[in-house]
Amino acid sequence: MTEEDLLEKVKVAIAEEYSKYKAIGKEVSLIDFLRVKCVQGNEKLYKAYEQMKDLSGDARKETNEKYDEALKKLDIYCDLLKALGFYDCLYIDENGKKTKGCLRNDQPNWFCRVCPSQKRYWEDEIMA
């Protein structure tokens, strides 16, 4: 699948899923919708990465390919967030407090796979 094909596929999927939200009466902005998708994607990719560590051979290769495609889709979600003007950490709550670290938190081997933030929070974590 080419990058253009993947981009088109993701755009269509986002539009369809966002339309379903609107149709069932969920009032959510496109930015909030994409932000939630990015957070969910980060979590899914973290879990997939943890499972991949125990695989080898063809199973590892196949899983790596699926992981790479999912990461590309997540990158597109993140790029769309930036295109809509969202440039902050995905894990900042309504009080302006980070709820999850970029590189460190309660989950071993955690790191954000995508981040729209212009501020490099991860640098602060490294220097701490």
Domain of 104 in residue numbering reads as 3-127
What digits encode the pLDDT tens for the residues 73-125?
Answer: 899 899 999 989 999 999 998 898 888 888 877 777 778 889 999 998 888 88
Query: What's the total number of domains in the chain?
Result: 1
What digits encode the pLDDT tens for the residues 53-86?
Answer: 888 899 989 999 999 989 998 998 999 999 899 9
- Separation of alpha carbons 57 and 55, rounded Å: 7
- Separation of alpha carbons 84 and 73, rounded Å: 17
| Integer CA distances (angstroms), 109 to 18, 47, 53, in order | 31, 10, 11
Buried b (16+ CB within 10 A) or exposed e, 68-85: eeebebbbbbbebbeeee
What digits encode the pLDDT tens for the residues 7-52?
Answer: 788 788 888 888 877 777 777 888 998 999 999 999 999 888 888 8
Tell me if the pTM is above 0.85: no
